[in-house]
Structure 1
Amino acid sequence: MVSIPLLDSAERSQKIRTILAFFAIYILWGTTFLAIRVAVEELPPLFAAGARFFTAGIVLYAFMRFKGETAPTAKQWRSLGIMALLMFVAEYGPLFWAEKYVPSGVVSVLAATLPIITLILEMLILRQQRMRPMLATATILGFVGVAVLLIPGGKQHLALVPCLAILAGATTWSLGSVLTRSMNLPASRPLTAGAAMMLGGAMLLALSAGFGEMHPFPHITLRAAGALLYLIVFGSLLAFTAFVWLLARMPATRVASHAYVNPIVAVALGYFMAGEVITARILAGTALVLISVFLILRRS
């Protein structure tokens, strides 16, 4: 009789947690682009982004402090402020605004250029990676895909300025993610995430007030409240916490594979649930960007 080894309870629990965490960053993050579109249809974009991250940040930060994590020092708060400005304000402010004009599926594809932009920053500016032929080819392929998406053609064409705003936001996120490696940040990643989201959300709400989005105070319908609640719970608290949890347990390149899964989920949801138009040009540009991201992450 052949003996089949079985996982003990601890190993089984760890395996289930890992599967659930990947489900969160693959599927839940992919669905947030449609939720953002629903939110900005009824709420001012900066207000919606600020409400999402400030609420999620407060909850996560308070939870980690309740668990006994030490509060950040003054220098760490300064680093967290820079991180929040680059990775939440400059990234998600333009992205929420752009979703008023660009289909959510296309927004997810443009946001998926994060690994491409990060690679360029590491190679050309920070000199942290060498320019290898395969990586150079993959980078060019990604930019060709973006160009295919943005070049006007046929009856369906994308608003250029919002698309450029998304790419600019992706650049600031990439810069922030690279700079955080040398920043003085708290040891606890969940505490860091909560504090950065809290600061970023506060800055976005301040900008919202400065641009007059709160005069009068936005009327939050049940539909908008549902979209915001989904973004706070599933997009920020669950998916982002799962992302941080996975980063502590496996290579970053494996965790970053969500970059070429999220757009597939977002494009499919936009088509089937929101009636977003998918043309051959959009499919071609999407395919080129996702192949580029796949090659870059695989080589990394």
Structure 2
Amino acid sequence: MASAAPEPRFTPVAWFAFIACTLIWGGTWFVIRTQLGEVPPSWSVTWRFALGAAVMFALCLVRRKSLRLSLRQHGFALLVAVTQFVLNFNLVYRSEQYLTSGLVSLTFAFLLVTNAALAALFLGQRVTGRFMLGSAIGLAGVALLFAPDIGKPGGEQIGINNTTWGLALAFAGVLSASVANVLQATPQGRAMPLEAGLAWAMGWGALIDGAVAWGLSGPPVFSTAPVYLAGLAYLGIVASAVAFSLYYILIRAVGAGPAAWSGVVVPVVAMGISTLLEGYEWTATAVAGIVLALIGLGVALKAKAQQ
């Protein structure tokens, strides 16, 4: 399988998409926190993708891109909507109620691992022993990073502590996002019109998010606070419409596994922001954990690159 792929897959366009997504998403994790509080998480997710969908539909109209999809393509867009824009983000927003934004971003570095594993399972791509070793080291680092907090009491309503619950939500979001990413790397995903496919996926996602939000939190809730509106604009336009367009270009160009390499850099940016703006306190165990996690991900990345 590996020999069939062209060797130099990172074109200038792919590199631009990679760098842009990394910079945009590095700050996204902190901005998500501006969406939590007065507005229930699921309604914030709904508004984000309603705005993102509106931007994508408008872009298609301005660029005269057809919005017409076949029934089969709508089914594919609906599957992407559920995995990426409903499950993934509802889980992520809720995980940030229990963890700092930087720590949530670190769990998403493991998209490199889950993307590669799912691509191996469903697309027949090879996974090396070195990749598995790097993944194990990285997971050990994450365990070390969270170890001091996992045993602490909390989360009375769910019977487990807040850190454990937040970590479970975040990793469930990682798995859901990986399913959506691998879908983009399939022949059907590559054949989908990018702009129209993303517009419809976000549109379907916003509708389902709204139904979920209404079921969980009651009638719509919105905030006109400047901080909330600024955060929503950034998340809906820049981090959704722009960044996902670029990321799906990247996945189609280089594959789901290599595209997730951006997740190794994003946590470094996010942890820096979390330290400055959220007061995250570094301990020797936390430093050792994040170093070990990044070393493990680096080993896995290098093994993937050499396939």
TM-score bin (small chain): 0.7 to 0.9
1:202 and 1:269, CA in 2 relative to 1: closer, same or farther beyond 3 A? same
Equivalent residue for 2:113? 116
Q: Distance in 1 between matches of 2:123 and 2:193?
A: 28
One-letter identity of the residue aligned with 2:77: L
Equivalent residue for 1:160? 164
- Worse overlay, 77-86 or 138-147: 138-147
| Aligned residues with identical type, % of pairs | 24
Matching of residues 82-231 of structure 1 within 5 Å? 82-123=79-120, 125-126=121-122, 128-153=124-149, 159-182=163-186, 184-185=188-189, 187-214=192-219, 217-231=221-235
| TM superposition shift of 1:46 | 0.8
| TM superposition shift of 1:249 | 5.7
One-letter identity of the residue aligned with 2:294: L
Q: Is the 8 A contact 1:26 1:261 kept in 2?
A: yes
| TM superposition shift of 1:241 | 2.8
1:62 and 1:38, CA in 2 relative to 1: closer, same or farther beyond 3 A? same
Summarize deviations over 1:83-139 as a string: whole Å, max 9, x none: 11112211110100111111000000011111112223344x437244522012012
Q: Is the 8 A contact 1:42 1:224 kept in 2?
A: no
Summarize deviations over 1:23-78 as a string: whole Å, max 9, x none: 42122111000000121134211111111112112211332244233311111111
SS of the equivalent of 2:148 reads: coil
Residue from 259, 262, 268 that aligns with 1:264: 268
Summarize deviations over 1:242-271 as a string: whole Å, max 9, x none: 334445666766543311111011000111
Gaps of 5+ in 2: 1-10, 153-160
Equivalent residue for 2:297? 293
Q: Distance in 1 between matches of 2:205 and 2:198?
A: 10
1:248 and 1:80, CA in 2 relative to 1: closer, same or farther beyond 3 A? closer
Gaps of 5+ in 1: 1-13
One-letter identity of the residue aligned with 2:179: L
Q: Distance in 2 between matches of 1:291 and 1:262?
A: 15
SS of the equivalent of 2:217 reads: coil
Q: Distance in 1 between matches of 2:150 and 2:213?
A: 36
Q: Is the 8 A contact 2:40 2:217 kept in 1?
A: no
| TM superposition shift of 1:291 | 2.5
Matching of residues 62-101 of structure 1 within 5 Å? 62-70=58-66, 71-101=68-98
1:202 and 1:285, CA in 2 relative to 1: closer, same or farther beyond 3 A? farther
SS of the equivalent of 1:275 reads: coil
Q: Distance in 1 between matches of 2:243 and 2:143?
A: 30
Matched, 1:58 2:54: yes
Q: Is the 8 A contact 1:55 1:198 kept in 2?
A: no
1:278 and 1:211, CA in 2 relative to 1: closer, same or farther beyond 3 A? same
Equivalent residue for 1:278? 282
Q: Is the 8 A contact 1:43 1:224 kept in 2?
A: no
Equivalent residue for 1:239? 243
- Worse overlay, 149-158 or 130-139: 149-158
SS of the equivalent of 1:102 reads: coil
One-letter identity of the residue aligned with 1:270: S
